[in-house]
Structure 1
Amino acid sequence: MNTAFRRLSLRSRLGLAAAVSVALAVTAVAIASWLVTRQQLTGQLDSNLRNVEASPRYVQELLSLCGRELPDAGQRTETPTPYVVQVVTSDGTVCAAPGSPKLAVDDTDIAVARGVLRSVMHDAGTQDGRKVRVWTTRPDSHPGTPGQYAVSIAQSLSTVDDPLNHLALFLLGIAGVGVIGAATAGLGISRAGLRPVQDLTDAAEHIAHTQDLTVRIPVDGEDEIARLSKSFNDMTEALASSQELQQQLIADAGHELRTPLTSLRANIQLLIRSHTSGRKIPEDAMNDLLRSVESQVGELAVLTADLQELSRPDTKPGRASLPVLALHEVASRALERVRHRGSEIEFTSELDEWYVLSDPAALERAVVNLLDNAVKFSPPGAVVSLQLHDGRLTVRDQGPGIPADELPHVFDRFWRSQTARSLPGSGLGLAIVAKAVQQAGGTVTLRPAPAQGTEAVICIPGTRTPPPSTRPEDAGVAAGTDTTCPPVPSS
C-alpha cells in the first residue's frame, strides 16, 4: 500500500490526502451528530414514558384478565394509544389487554414487581416483532389491587429509529459530497500550488539536457515557493558565474602557457637538430640555451602551481573552522623566505603582535607573493618595508608604482601591466593573495605609496593579545574586542 502510494504523483498524493482527511473529519462529525441525536431522541422518549400514568381502574382491569378467558370483542379493554400497557406480577405473569401485543418481560421487570427495584427503563420486543422502549415502575398501592405487581408502559422505537435512519442517509450523502468535493479541490489546489515546483522541475530538466544556465524562474511573492525559486535562480547564477570563470581560467591559462611552451619547443627542436645533424652548438650558446630551457620549465612549474591554487573552490570565510595564527610570525617567516631572493634589496620590518583565524599555508603564501612583487619591481639598493600595526599588514616598495587606471585590475587573474610583461611571472600572484585574504575574512588593497612606489595593505580581523588556547571558540579573534579591522587611511 505504501509503495503504491509513493508511485503516485505528488499532485495525486496531495489530492488523495485531502480527500482522506476530509473523509475522516466528516465521518467523525457524522457519527458524533448521529449519536447526539440518538441520545436526545431517546431521552425525549424516556421522558414521555415517565410522564405517562396508567389509571388505577385500567390496572385493575388488566389484573382481572390474568388467568381468565378472553372476553368477546365487545368487552375488550382498550389500550391507550400510542402506548402499550401491561401489568407484570411478581411471579412473571403478564396481564395485557386483549388484542394488545404482549411485551417481553425480563428479570428487571420482575424485580420491580417484587419491590427489589423501584423502576427500570429498557428496550424490549413485542410478539409481532416490533421494538419498543419500556418503562416499568411499581406504582403506589391502588385500592382493590392486592399483591405485588408492576406496570410496564411501552412506546414503539420507530419514533427514534425512523428519524435516525433518515439522518444517517442524509449524513452519508453529505459525507460523500464532501469527500468528492475535497478530492476535487485538493487536486485543483495542489495543481495551482505545485505549478512553481513544476516550473522548477522543467527548468532543472532543461538545464540537465541543454547545459543552459541562463534559465531563470519568475519569482512572485515571498512564500516558501518564492524563496525556493529565488534560491534556484541564485544557484543557477552562481553556477553560470563559476562556469564562466572556469572557461575564462582555461582560456587565460592556455594563452599564458602558449608562450613558454612555444619557446621551450623551439629550444628543444634546436637541440634535436644539433644532435641529429652532428653540428655542435657553441658552448656559450649551449649554456644560454640550457638556462633558457631551465627558466621556461621553472616558469611552467610556477604557473601550474598557481593554477592548482586558483582551481580550488572558493569558500566563504568559515572562521570558526580555521586555526588561530600569529600573523606577525607568519609575516616574519615570509620575509626570511624572500630575503634570499632579493640580495640587492634592503628589507626593514616592524611587526606588532596580531592573532587571526586563517589557513597557515595560504596566508604565508599571500605575504610571500606581495614581498616577491615588491622585490621584482624595486631597483637595486631600494628598500622594501614590512609593517604590522593595529591589525594592518603593509608591504611598501620603491618601484615605479602602478598607474591609477590599472589599480582596479591588479587582482584579476592573468592580468599584467604593460611594464611587467617583460618580467617573469604568470599574473596570478595577486589573485592568489586576494583569495587567501578573503577566505580569512579580510581585505587587501593596492595603492600608490606616499613618496614613491606601491603600498599593499592586508587587513584581517583579529586581536592583539594571544588567545588562551588554540581553539577558535576560546580565542579573542572569535569573540574579542579587537576583532574590527581598522580602515586603511588615505595617502
Structure 2
Amino acid sequence: MINKFRALPLRSRLALLVAVAVAVAVAAVSVTCWFVVRGKLYDEIDAKLKSQNAPLQPDDIALALRTCSQTPAGRAGYGPKPVYYVQLVRAGSDKPCVSAYSAGTVKVDSGDEQVARDADPTVLTFRDGTDTNGRAVRVLTVPAVVQGPEGGVVTDAAVTIAYPLEETEATLNDLALLLLIVSGVGVVGAGAAGLWVARAGLKPVDRLTGAVEHVARTEDLTVRIPVEGEDEIARLSRSFNSMTAALASSRDRQAQLIADAGHELRTPLTSLRTNIELLARSDETGRAIPPMDRAALMASVKAQMTELAALIGDLQELSRPDAVDRGPLKVVALHEIAEAALARARLRGPELAFVSELTPWYVRAEPAALERAVVNVLDNAVKFSPPGSTVEVALQAGELTVRDHGPGIPADELPHVFERFWRSPSARALPGSGLGLSIVARTVHQAGGEISLGPAAGGGTYALISLPGAATPPPVVA
C-alpha cells in the first residue's frame, strides 16, 4: 500500500493527503456533533420524565398493586391518548402493573427490580428500553411511595415512567444523514481544493523541472529560473541558478584552458617539428649538416622537449579539480623547503648572488606541491634578474619574501600575473608557459595562505607568501 502511494505523482499524493486529513477532521466533528445533539435531546427527555414523576396518587399505587393489571385500562373522558408509559414493578417479578394513564407496557429489566428491592427514595435511574411492541423508549425508574398512617411509606415496588424515542431517533437519523452528506461534500471539495493547491504550489517545481530537463537535453547553461518570494521554492531556484552559472563558468574556463593550451603547445611543437624535419631531410638527401649546426639543432630539440614536458606537467597540475585528493597534508618545515629551493635556484643562476635569512616555521601542507610553489617563485626571480644582481630571500613569522633587482612588473600588469597563460609582453621571448604563478597561487590558497606581487623599492619585484603555522613543530602524538 505504501509503495503504491509513493508511486503516485506528487500532486495526487498531496491531494489525497489533504482529502484524508479533511475527511478525518470532518468525521471527528460530525461524530462529536451527533453525540452532543443526542445528549441534548436525551437531557430534554430526562427532564420531561422528571416532570412526570409521581403521576400516580398513593391510592392509585395501592389499587394498582392489589389489582395488578397487565395492560392499560384507559379512562374515558381523560383527554387524548396518553404519551407516557406508567407502570409499577414489584421486587422479584418481571410482570409490571400497568397504570390506566399508561400509553403501553414497557419491558422490565433487572435494574427496575433492583430499584424496587432497594426501596431508596433518593434513587433515580434512567435507561433505554423497549415496549412490548418493540418500540424504543426512555425509562425513568423511582421507588413507589404509598401513604401510610404515619406518612409516606416505601413499598417493595418501583414506578417506571417511559417516553417514546421515535421522534428523537428520527431526528438523530436525519441529522446523521445530513452530516454524512455534508462530510462527503466536504471531502470531495477538499480533494478538489487539494489538487488545485498542489497544482498551484508545484508550478515553480514544474518550471524548475522543465529547466533541468532543458539543460540535460541541450546542455544550455544560460537558462535561468525567475525567483519570486523567499520560500523554499525560491531558495531552490536560486540554488539552481547558481549551479548553472557555476557550471557555465567552469565550462568557459575549461574551453579557455584548452584554447590557451593549444596556443602554447603550438609554438614548441612547430619549432620541434622544423628542427626534426631539417635533421630528417639531411639524412634523406645525404647532405650532412655541419657538426656545430647539428649540435645546435639537437640542443634546440632537447630544450623544446624539456619546455614541452614542463608545459604538459603544468597543464596536468591545473587540470586537477580542487576537490581531488592531492595527497595527505603534513606538517612541513617551510624553512627547509626554502633552503632546498634556494639550492636549486643557485644552480640555475650561477651568475647571481643569493642572500637568505630563514627562521624556523612549520606549516600544514602537501610537501611536494609547496616545494614546487617556492621553486617557481625563485625561478621567476632568477629569470628576470640581470647577471651580477642579488636575489634576497627571507622567512620571518610565516612570511616568505623573495626580492629581485630585475625590471619589475608594470602596475597595469600586476592584476594579471596570476592568470593562466598570461605573460608580460616583455617576457614573451623568455622560456615559460605562463602557468607557474597560477600554480603557486593555487597551492598557497589550498594551504590557507596568501600570495602577492608588487614593485620593490629601488626597482625589481617583491613577492610575499604568507602561510599560517607555528615557529615550533607540534608535539608528536604516540
Preserved CA contact (<8 Å) 2:70 2:97: no
Residues 88-115 of structure 1, C-alpha deviations (whole Å, 9 max, x = no match): 1122221114683211111111122222
Residue 302 of structure 1: how far off its partner (Å)? 0.6
* 1:33-432 equivalences in 2 (<5 Å): 33-54=33-54, 55-56=56-57, 57-66=59-68, 81-90=82-91, 91-97=93-99, 100-115=103-118, 118-143=123-148, 148-314=156-322, 323-432=330-439
Instruction: Specify the SS of the correspondent of 2:105.
Output: coil
Residue 409 of structure 1: how far off its partner (Å)? 1.3
Alpha carbons of 1:169 and 1:324: their partners in 2 closer, same or farther (altered >3 Å)? farther
- Structure 2 equivalent of residue 486 of structure 1: none
Alpha carbons of 1:393 and 1:122: their partners in 2 closer, same or farther (altered >3 Å)? same
Instruction: Give the Cα–Cα distance (whole angstroms) in 2 for the partners of residues 427 and 138 of structure 1.
Output: 114
Alpha carbons of 1:177 and 1:359: their partners in 2 closer, same or farther (altered >3 Å)? farther
What residue identity is the alignment partner of 2:409? I
Preserved CA contact (<8 Å) 1:323 1:470: no
Preserved CA contact (<8 Å) 1:400 1:452: yes
Over aligned residues, Cα RMSD in angstroms? 2.9
* Runs (5+) with no aligned partner, structure 1: 472-491
Instruction: Give the Cα–Cα distance (whole angstroms) in 2 for the partners of residues 199 and 305 of structure 1.
Output: 44
What residue identity is the alignment partner of 1:242? S
What residue identity is the alignment partner of 1:447? G
Preserved CA contact (<8 Å) 1:113 1:148: yes
What residue identity is the alignment partner of 2:365? S
Residue 460 of structure 1: how far off its partner (Å)? 3.0
Instruction: Give the Cα–Cα distance (whole angstroms) in 2 for the partners of residues 209 and 92 of structure 1.
Output: 88
Instruction: Specify the SS of the correspondent of 2:459.
Output: coil
Residue 313 of structure 1: how far off its partner (Å)? 1.5
Residues 207-242 of structure 1, C-alpha deviations (whole Å, 9 max, x = no match): 111111111111122222111111111111111110
Preserved CA contact (<8 Å) 1:65 1:96: no
Residue 382 of structure 1: how far off its partner (Å)? 1.8
Instruction: Give the Cα–Cα distance (whole angstroms) in 1 for the partners of residues 281 and 305 of structure 2.
Output: 20
Greater mean alpha carbon deviation, residues 204-213 or residues 27-36:
27-36
Instruction: Give the Cα–Cα distance (whole angstroms) in 1 for the partners of residues 430 and 71 of structure 2.
Output: 140
Preserved CA contact (<8 Å) 2:221 2:244: yes
Residues 21-69 of structure 1, C-alpha deviations (whole Å, 9 max, x = no match): 1111111222222223323332343343234322224434533442589
Greater mean alpha carbon deviation, residues 130-139 or residues 41-50:
41-50
Residues 375-426 of structure 1, C-alpha deviations (whole Å, 9 max, x = no match): 1111222211111224322111111111222112111111111221111111
Residue 76 of structure 1: how far off its partner (Å)? 10
Instruction: Specify the SS of the correspondent of 1:141.
Output: strand
Instruction: Give the Cα–Cα distance (whole angstroms) in 2 for the partners of residues 86 and 188 of structure 1.
Output: 63
Greater mean alpha carbon deviation, residues 57-66 or residues 294-303:
57-66
Greater mean alpha carbon deviation, residues 60-69 or residues 366-375:
60-69
Preserved CA contact (<8 Å) 2:71 2:105: no
Preserved CA contact (<8 Å) 2:451 2:463: yes
Residue 197 of structure 1: how far off its partner (Å)? 1.4
Residue 143 of structure 1: how far off its partner (Å)? 4.2
Instruction: Give the Cα–Cα distance (whole angstroms) in 2 for the partners of residues 67 and 46 of structure 1.
Output: 26
What residue identity is the alignment partner of 2:379? D
- Structure 2 equivalent of residue 441 of structure 1: 448
Alpha carbons of 1:68 and 1:221: their partners in 2 closer, same or farther (altered >3 Å)? closer
* Runs (5+) with no aligned partner, structure 2: none
Residue 251 of structure 1: how far off its partner (Å)? 0.2
Instruction: Give the Cα–Cα distance (whole angstroms) in 2 for the partners of residues 263 and 45 of structure 1.
Output: 115
Alpha carbons of 1:206 and 1:168: their partners in 2 closer, same or farther (altered >3 Å)? same
Preserved CA contact (<8 Å) 2:144 2:155: no
- Structure 2 equivalent of residue 459 of structure 1: 466
Residues 287-331 of structure 1, C-alpha deviations (whole Å, 9 max, x = no match): 222222211111111111100111111359x9xx95444433332
In the superposition, the TM-score normalised over structure 1's length comes to 0.87
Instruction: Specify the SS of the correspondent of 2:434.
Output: coil
Instruction: Specify the SS of the correspondent of 1:138.
Output: strand
Instruction: Give the Cα–Cα distance (whole angstroms) in 2 for the partners of residues 68 and 202 of structure 1.
Output: 85
Q: How many residues align?
A: 467
In the superposition, the TM-score normalised over structure 2's length comes to 0.89
Alpha carbons of 1:217 and 1:67: their partners in 2 closer, same or farther (altered >3 Å)? closer
Alpha carbons of 1:126 and 1:285: their partners in 2 closer, same or farther (altered >3 Å)? same
Greater mean alpha carbon deviation, residues 377-386 or residues 455-464:
455-464
Residues 193-218 of structure 1, C-alpha deviations (whole Å, 9 max, x = no match): 22221111111111111111111111
Q: Percent identity?
A: 54
What residue identity is the alignment partner of 2:268? P
Greater mean alpha carbon deviation, residues 226-235 or residues 135-144:
135-144
